[in-house]
Structure 1
Amino acid sequence: MSLTRSIANTQSPNFYAEMGELIASSGHADFAAHMLHLVDKWVPIHLVDLSEWTLDELRNRVLDIKLLGSAGQTQDLPPPLPLNSMDDHPLLREMLGMQDPLLIQLKAKAKSAYLRGTSHPCNLVSRQGNRRCVISFYRPPTHRGFSLAELSFLKCLSDTLLPLIECHAQSLRQAPHADVEPAHTLLEQSQLQREFYKRLSLGDITLSAREQEVCLGLLTGGTVPQMAEKLSVKNSSIETYLKRAAAKLGVSGRHGLAKWMIGV
């Protein structure tokens, strides 16, 4: 798959419908599954692990690792390692002292407990103080490693995925003992609407009812003709609502709207 084709595909309504579902599932048990489904369509992977590392940077040690979710072919994988053995983890060396978000590809090694057996790993890492939120993508050993084009695409996608995992981690910290059930479609839409209105309130932004409908329609994968039919107006009217809303939000296009939703 070419990088150009991958980026072009992310402008499709389906991509933004899936991105809307991922945003809505933040803090829920199926967040990792939604991320796997989204990424696997453009960069084939068989497993995603989400974790939050707390580091002692002065002593080059791992203080804590919280698992934030996992999805994919997780059967027959080695059990988690003791925390004290993680001080030698190759990922730790890369994360110590980092300032900006990183994409870290580690070489697969036979029978490596650190790297999920012989899978090809790729990690997206963000930093907040001494915490590191880590998205780990894996590809089976029977497949080739990640190409430069695929790594570039994942790096581009990290601008959206890393703020999302930070929100997911924060939600889990606020409700660590909550029994979380997988979100169904209507619940996902309701959650997305709540997050949308919350973001408007925080930014003290006022949109008209039609502008709100059109923005939510975009976030759930709607097209201009579909929204025009639903609202019984012309396509040009939908475009006008979009332009007005984008100007008030300070964004451009679906990708900008998705980033605005997660506070980027």
Structure 2
Amino acid sequence: MLYDPQFHTDTDSFPLSFKTLGRVIEAVGTPDFVPRLTLLLNEIVPLNVVHIERSRVDRSKPTGFRCEWIGSSGVGMDTSVISDVMTLYYDRFYDSDPLFAGIRGKLGTMLVVRDIGAIPPGEFRQRLFDEALIAHECVLARGTAHAQDSIALERALDAPPFTLAEMNRFRQVSEFLFPLLELHASTSAAKRVAHPTSFLHPLAQFDARIAADHIRLSKREYEICAHLITGRTVPEAAEIIGVRVGTAESYVKRAFAKLGVRTKRDLIAWGQTCHGLLTL
């Protein structure tokens, strides 16, 4: 994760349609704001998904902040998938997200790049990035004494990483984007507020059992098991991770041998029998 609050800025020109900007300003406080902002950002930095959030100081919360999801939109991505992923994120993962833990409460403008490839195998990576086919993310945040606003840009697996030049353009436009975002957030209802829940998805149960039993699965063995647990077939899992079906089947056999299970149903049940794990 690259964190650089003093990110370089210059006066290089970048593509920006003032007509598009006008449409964003016109949409402040309406449901059209995030989709129009996404189109504007896509002119500056090609992207697939945009997420907008606001965190306000709230000492009654475990993190000291009340996190509000303002909205998300996409370019060439299924909006229902984006919505499902973000609903899951704010219900389950926001409080433990290392990226935001590193910038929460900091003052000024910050640009952070998440190294998705370095995220350890587990439900967080599997459900928020691997299954959503997201490979690259950078977050621009601005914090004051009372709140922090952030704009996250994401790219799909078939897109290249964000370049320094692209991130520099993204950083430059923050001076007029964040005032618009703050005005919109103050005049419209949040789509969702982070509410951690005690419910554990079968994949989270599986992760807990692996940790408790100190079992070592290879990256591919874990990925295959994770896809099976979340309802994929072996051929579907093979296509997602980019291997032949026969190769995927060999991963299944090796993983099942280590876990002492024979079927997908056994695999799910195995994770649910972790001692001390409470599921509500």
Q: Choose the corresponding residue for 2:20, options 18, 21, 30.
A: 18
> Per-residue displacement from partner, 1:188-228 (whole Å, max 9, x unpaired)?
xxxxxxxxxxxxxxxxxxxxxxxxxxxxxxxxxxxxxxxxx
**Residue 7 of structure 1 aligns with which residue?**
13
Q: What secondary structure sits across from 1:7 in the alignment?
A: coil
Deviation of the 1:31 alpha carbon? 0.6
Deviation of the 1:64 alpha carbon? 2.6
Q: What secondary structure sits across from 2:22 in the alignment?
A: helix
For residues 128 and 97 of structure 1, do their structure 2 counterparts lie closer, same or farther at Cα, with a shift above 3 Å needed? closer
1:95 aligns with 2:103: yes
Deviation of the 1:37 alpha carbon? 0.9
1:141 aligns with 2:122: no
Q: Tell me the amino acid that sits aligned with residue 99 of structure 1.
A: L
**Residue 43 of structure 1 aligns with which residue?**
45
Q: Cα RMSD (Å) of the superposition?
A: 3.1
Do the aligned partners of 1:55 and 1:61 also contact (CA within 8 Å) in 2? no
**Residue 235 of structure 2 aligns with which residue?**
none
Question: Which consecutive unaligned segments of at least 5 residues does structure 2 have?
Answer: 1-8, 192-280
Deviation of the 1:99 alpha carbon? 1.3
Do the aligned partners of 2:134 and 2:155 also contact (CA within 8 Å) in 1? no
**Residue 170 of structure 1 aligns with which residue?**
186
Do the aligned partners of 1:32 and 1:69 also contact (CA within 8 Å) in 2? yes
> Per-residue displacement from partner, 1:103-158 (whole Å, max 9, x unpaired)?
11111247344556533111111223342111111111211110000000100011
TM-score by length of 2: 0.52
Q: What secondary structure sits across from 1:76 in the alignment?
A: helix
Do the aligned partners of 2:34 and 2:71 also contact (CA within 8 Å) in 1? yes
Q: Choose the corresponding residue for 2:135, options 119, 130, 134.
A: 119
Q: What secondary structure sits across from 1:9 in the alignment?
A: coil
Q: Tell me the amino acid that sits aligned with residue 13 of structure 2.
A: I
Q: What secondary structure sits across from 2:88 in the alignment?
A: coil
Do the aligned partners of 1:103 and 1:122 also contact (CA within 8 Å) in 2? yes
Deviation of the 1:56 alpha carbon? 5.5
Deviation of the 1:41 alpha carbon? 2.0
Do the aligned partners of 1:56 and 1:130 also contact (CA within 8 Å) in 2? no
Q: What secondary structure sits across from 1:28 in the alignment?
A: coil
**Residue 76 of structure 1 aligns with which residue?**
81
The CA distance in 1 between the partners of 2:33 and 2:103, in whole Å, is: 24
Q: Tell me the amino acid that sits aligned with residue 102 of structure 1.
A: M
Mapping of 1:223-242 within 5 angstroms?
none
Q: Choose the corresponding residue for 2:177, options 135, 157, 161.
A: 161
Q: Relative CO higher for 1 or 2, CA cutoff 8 Å, sep ≥ 6? A: 1
The CA distance in 1 between the partners of 2:12 and 2:92, in whole Å, is: 40
Do the aligned partners of 1:27 and 1:168 also contact (CA within 8 Å) in 2? yes
Deviation of the 1:83 alpha carbon? 4.7
Do the aligned partners of 1:48 and 1:137 also contact (CA within 8 Å) in 2? yes
The CA distance in 2 between the partners of 1:6 and 1:30, in whole Å, is: 30
The CA distance in 1 between the partners of 2:12 and 2:157, in whole Å, is: 23
The CA distance in 2 between the partners of 1:23 and 1:32, in whole Å, is: 11
Question: Which consecutive unaligned segments of at least 5 residues does structure 1 have?
Answer: 177-264
The CA distance in 2 between the partners of 1:154 and 1:93, in whole Å, is: 22
Deviation of the 1:67 alpha carbon? 1.8
Q: Aligned residue pairs: how many?
A: 169
Do the aligned partners of 1:22 and 1:31 also contact (CA within 8 Å) in 2? yes
Q: What secondary structure sits across from 1:102 in the alignment?
A: strand
Deviation of the 1:160 alpha carbon? 1.3
The CA distance in 1 between the partners of 2:50 and 2:27, in whole Å, is: 16
